[in-house]
Amino acid sequence: MAKGQKKTGKGRLDKYYKLAKEQGYRARSAFKLIQLNKKYSFLESARCCIDLCAAPGGWLQVASKYMPANSIIVGVDLVPIKPIPRVATFACDITTPNCRNLIRGELKDWKADVVLHDGAPNVGTAWVQDAYSQVELVLMSLKLAVEFLVKGGTFVTKVFRSADYNNLLWVFNQLFGKVEATKPPSSRNVSAEIFVVCRDFIAPKHIDPKFLDPRYVFKELTAGDSIDKGSSLNNAHANIFQPDKKRRARDGYNEGDYTLFKKVGAEAFVEGDDPVGLLGTVNQIAFETEKEKEWLASEVTSEDVKANFRDLKVLGKGDFKALLKWRTALREEIGLDVKSKPTEELTETVEITEEVDEEQQIQEELERLNAEASARNKRERRRQNEQKTRTIQRMQLQMTAPLDIGLEQDDPTLRLGGQDDIFDLGMADKEMKRRRKEKFLTADDTLSDDSDSDAEDSGSDDEAMDIDADEERQRKVDAMEAEMDGMYDAYRERMAERDAKFKVKEARQKNKLREEEWTGIKSDNSDEDDESDEGGWDVTQSAKARAGEESSDSDSDGGSDEEEIDRDDADHPNAQSAIAGTKRKRVGNQERSGSKPVASNKLPRLMTSLERSESKSGSKAAQLWFSQNIFEGIDDEVEDEEEGSADEWENESDLGDSATGQAEQDTAADDDSDIDYEVVPADADEDVEMWDEADENIDDLKRAHIKKYGLVTAEAMTLAQQLVNRQKTKTEMINDGFNRYSLNSKENLPSWFLDDEAKNYKPNIPITKEAVAAIRAKQRMLDARPIKKIAEAKARKKFKAAQQYEKAMKKAEGVNSNTDISERDKAAQIEKLMRKGVAKGKGGKREVKLVVAKGAHKGVKGRPKGVKGRYTMVDSRMKKELRAKKKKEKETKKKRR
């Protein structure tokens, strides 16, 4: 498969794929049903549901989650469905009477409230068995639906936009009160699928069989079909002449065009009128009949040709030409065509031989030049490596500073040593290309008028040379990265040694990241908002299981299976963690920064970010560092690379749009544009570590922190307010969490780059004034609260006071009951007791009044005038003396130690 056609990897791992994985759904398509149900709410009230074409079971999981406990859920598919608790499944073709009988057996007298159909022919492993087209499948599912649906029931079906679409809608409208077509957000835009929700089943007593007969419903198809066929044929032709460029089916999809795999016999290709169109539309040309097998054994059928016929979708222009040549040769051999002008051909043969010789010469010459160039490069590289090692050693010995390196590189003597060449990759590459082109031009003078096939051959030479040049460049990049890592480490060491401030800054940075709290994570039992915040299918399942509901599924193996998925899900972070994704990125960066750098081939991204960090960074040291000559010329390279990757990206998206996209047709699971059905692997271990996949325990810790202390940052408060005030939905927040950096891999990135990213790669989180005010108020409240010890002491005091008061009351009662003393004495004694009790309760200490011995009190002996109660005379002298005494004691204590 060509590079641009690759459909695996992160390109396809979209939001819903990730969410499905996180929430334990078997297919990302589960979100389509969730979104449809959100709009039309048909599952919550349903007691019986039939899912036609249900494998691998994503929709069944959703139905089981949203439908009330003990509902009847039946799933049917050509391929067996792994057991799902409380769901009955069986493998069967929905177009057969057997399927009807099986459903009847399962439902007994029940009628279904909802019939779902997400079928697409030729998907999965059973494509060979299915001869029906999608619209016919829809009609078949409708047939089952009308049989099993209760009056007022709902039928949900997937339909592909095609010439039959309107005919189908017409039929739906005859049988249902409300018919609406909708495309849920999780259905990819590039997919031709649309969902029709038919509500209020009329349940007529008699249904005209023609309504459900494809021969009548799709009767007028031919005219439109031919138009569509025309456009698709044009596409097919274009696919042959420019196989790299994939085309969209803007006019909708021809009936059967969304079938993933098409095979025709060689006879149709050899004897048909439009071999080019055929090559552009089918996947395989087979040799199955006797006649075809004879052709296969023919001399003109080389091994290459046989291999090419096996998978037409991976072929290039040259391969197609070879197949067309084969066709011509075979047709001549079997007498369908007559060879023209045999004498002229002879002359031509001589010319071709000459060309081949010339080509060989060019090839040899190119090989020789390549060998020479790579030997020269090797020598240069060795010299440069030695040079670099010396430089690094000098840096480590502190003989040179990063700034000095820049000066050294300006040194013309070093330039002679090849410094320029290694650091200025763009220049080196351009020079290499220029040299090669010169050779080509001289050789091409004779070939310029030649046929396409010659151009192709030279193209393949070009490719070979490109591969050499790529390898060469990769080696250079590796060397440069290794060197930069070394230099960076040395630079950091030197900075750390020299600059105390740097150390403090680093420590602070680490602390900050450690202490950073992202507290916007929802608690496990928060309200449901949308599909992404519901804790996933398996969470609900386990809840339902806890409630002790009985499984309608008799298969006991299902339990272990589901448990496994539950465990998987528990390992996954909550969907809400996506909100916190941006924050965690930072933590992740810091965590990574300690890892040993590995030479990587991610130069473009690395350099792009480097450029960004350079411009953003306010640090002079960083600017100095990146202003060195070693970074010169990288810009050009980066631009080239970026353009390249952008092209590649474009290709990929083109591919996604393509109706006949190779990637989509290779495997059922790889299909995106037509049948937007994607099985989500349960195993997360194989994933490359992402920027936003930080330590998953962090979420738990944060959750616990929030439980204990509430929201403590303005960001968290802002998000919470936005949610409460309905300014933002959780879906929007999750969407915000997914950005173009979300799926960036940290693998193989050098430590200096990760360090720099940690400094500059910070999300810009909006914080409202109200949130800041709320946090401040909270802080003030906390500050105003006494610390625990003081509160305890106060409580003790209060308790003591109460005890004393009680004691005094008892004594007072004793005095009161004494008949020997007069009432007046009683009153005096009680008052005294009470005063004492209150005073004791207050702390038991009597107030001592301080009287300063100055003015009228100076030199007074005995109680000074006007002073009542306990008193102490103090004067400034005494104060000073006491202070001096204390100080002296302290010093002598210190000395003794």
Going by the annotation, the residues of the binding site are 57, 59, 77, 93, 118
- Cα end-to-end distance, the chain, whole Å: 81
Please answer whether residues 17 and 530 qualify as being in contact, where contact means their C-beta atoms are separated by less than 8 angstroms.
no
> Nearest approach, Cβ of 262 to ligand SAM (angstroms)?
16
User: Is-cis flag, bond preceding 85, omega within 30?
Assistant: no
Looking at residues 87 to 126 of the shown chain, list those that interact with ligand SAM (rule: CB under 6 A).
93-95, 118-121, 123-124, 126
Cβ proximity to ligand SAM, 25 vs 309, nearer residue: 25
Min separation Cβ 116 and ligand SAM, Å? 7
Q: What's phi and psi for 846, nearest 5 deg?
A: -85, 145
Residue nearest to ligand SAM (CB): 58
Out of 58, 214, 280, 536, the residue judged to bind ligand SAM by CB under 6 A = 58
In contact, 579 and 104? CB cutoff 8 Å: no
56 binds ligand SAM, rule: CB under 6 A: yes
**Only segment of 52-60, 380-388, 545-553, 741-749 that touches ligand SAM (CB under 6 A):** 52-60
Tokens describing residue 432: 């290499």
- Interatomic CA distance for residues 493 and 490, integer angstroms: 5
In the complex, minimum distance from the CB of residue 68 to ligand SAM, in angstroms, rounded to a whole number: 20
Asked if residue 713 binds ligand SAM (CB under 6 A), the reply is no
Nearer to ligand SAM, 55 or 217 (CB): 55
DSSP per-residue letters across 21-72:
HHHT-SBTTHHHHHHHHHHH--STT-SEEEEES-TT-HHHHHHHHHSPTT-E
Q: What are phi and psi of 569, to 5 degrees?
A: -65, -40
Q: Looking at 57-65, 235-243, 370-378, 706-714, which segment touches ligand SAM (CB under 6 A)?
A: 57-65
Nearer to ligand SAM, 79 or 300 (CB): 79
| Residue 288 DSSP SS3 | coil
Closer to ligand SAM by CB, 119 or 597: give it: 119
Confirm or reject binding of residue 20 to ligand SAM (CB under 6 A): no
What is the smallest separation between the CB atom of 189 and ligand SAM, expressed in angstroms?
Answer: 17
In the numeric block, which tokens belong to residue 668? 């059922």
Residue closer to ligand SAM (CB basis): 126 or 238: 126
Tokens of 854: 């100055």
Nearest distance in Å: CB 122, ligand SAM:
7
Contacts of residue 437, defined as CB under 8 A and 6 or more positions apart, other chains included, come to none
SS3 assignment for 511-527: HHHHHCCCCCCCCCCCC
Nearest C-alpha neighbor of 538 from the set 508, 485, 575: 575
DSSP letter assigned to residue 854:
S
* Binding segment (CB under 6 A) for ligand SAM, from list 55-63, 632-640, 734-742, 826-834: 55-63
Nearest residue to 170 (alpha-carbon basis) of 218, 207, 104: 218
- Select 121 or 277, whichever has its Cβ closest to ligand SAM: 121
Q: In what order do the strands lie in the sheet with 88-91?
A: 88-91, 72-77, 48-52, 112-117, 149-160, 193-201, 176-182
In this structure, the chain runs to a length of: 897
Calculate the alpha carbon distances from 44 to 26, 37, 116, 449, 553 in Å: 21, 9, 14, 71, 20
Determine if 78 is a binding residue for ligand SAM (CB under 6 A): yes
Q: Looking at beta carbons only, is 93 or 457 nearer to ligand SAM? A: 93
Q: Which of 59, 218, 326, 423 binds ligand SAM (CB under 6 A)?
A: 59
Q: Which is nearer to ligand SAM, 124 or 418 (CB)?
A: 124
Shortest distance (Å) from residue 80 CB to ligand SAM: 10
In 3D space, the residue among 234, 228, 222 whose CA is nearest the CA of residue 257 turns out to be: 228
- 284 forms beta bridges with 263
Residue 113 backbone dihedrals phi, psi, to 5 degrees: -85, -30
3-state secondary structure of 399: coil
Question: How many residues make contact with ligand SAM (CB under 6 A)?
Answer: 29
Q: With respect to ligand SAM, which residue has the nearer C-beta, 142 or 610?
A: 142
Considering the complex, what minimum distance in angstroms separates the CB of residue 258 from ligand SAM?
11
Binding segment (CB under 6 A) for ligand SAM, from list 76-84, 251-259, 420-428, 762-770: 76-84
Compute the least distance from the CB of residue 33 to ligand SAM, in Å: 7
Closest CB to ligand SAM among residues 141, 658 = 141
Of positions 24, 57, 83, 153, contacts ligand SAM by CB under 6 A = 57
Look up residue 818 and give its two tokens: 């004494």
Residue 535 sits in the site that holds ligand SAM (CB under 6 A): no
CA distance 80 to 91: 5
Q: How far is the CB of 331 from ligand SAM (least distance, A)?
A: 38
Residue 77 binds to ligand SAM (criterion: CB under 6 A): yes
User: Least Å distance between CB 229 and ligand SAM?
Assistant: 24
Give the residue ranges of the annotated binding site for S-adenosyl-L-methionine. Answer: 57, 59, 77, 93, 118
CA angle (501 as vertex; 496, 507 as ends), nearest 5:
75
Q: Looking at residues 391 to 410 of the shown chain, list those that interact with ligand SAM (rule: CB under 6 A).
A: none
Active-site residue (options: 7, 21, 65, 158): 158
Q: Does 27 bind ligand SAM (CB under 6 A)?
A: yes
Q: How far apart are CA 627 and CA 264, in angstroms?
A: 62
- Nearest C-alpha neighbor of 25 from the set 681, 549, 544: 681
Give, as one character, the DSSP assignment of residue 178: E
- Least separation, in Å, of the C-beta of 680 and ligand SAM? 10
Selected from 176, 258, 488, 677, the binder of ligand SAM by CB under 6 A is 677
Among 20, 50, 53, 711, binds ligand SAM (CB under 6 A): 53
Q: Are 292 and 306 in contact (CB under 8 A)?
A: no
Q: Which of residues 129-158 bind ligand SAM (CB under 6 A)?
A: 130, 132, 137
789 is catalytic: no
Residue 362 makes contact with ligand SAM by CB under 6 A: no
Q: Compute the distance between CA of residue 897 and CA of residue 894 in angstroms, rounded to an integer.
A: 5
Query: Per rule CB under 6 A, is residue 536 in the interface with ligand SAM?
Result: no
E strands along 135-246, which residues?
A: 149-160, 176-182, 193-201
- Residue 600 to residues 176, 180, 476: CA-CA distances in angstroms? 60, 52, 11
CB-based contact 60:81 (threshold 8 Å): yes
Question: For residues 425 and 668, which CB has a smaller minimum distance to ligand SAM in the complex?
Answer: 668
Residues in 265-294 at the binding interface with ligand SAM, rule: CB under 6 A: none
The pairing of strands 112-117 and 88-91 is: unpaired
DSSP annotation of 209 reads G
* 29 near ligand SAM (CB under 6 A): yes
296 part of the interface to ligand SAM, by CB under 6 A: no
User: Could you say which of 20, 43, 55, 405 contacts ligand SAM (CB under 6 A)?
Assistant: 55
User: What residues between 485 and 524 interact with ligand SAM by CB under 6 A?
Assistant: none
Residues that bind ligand SAM (CB under 6 A): 26-27, 29-30, 53-59, 77-79, 93-95, 118-121, 123-124, 126, 130, 132, 137, 675, 677
Q: Which residues are catalytic?
A: 158
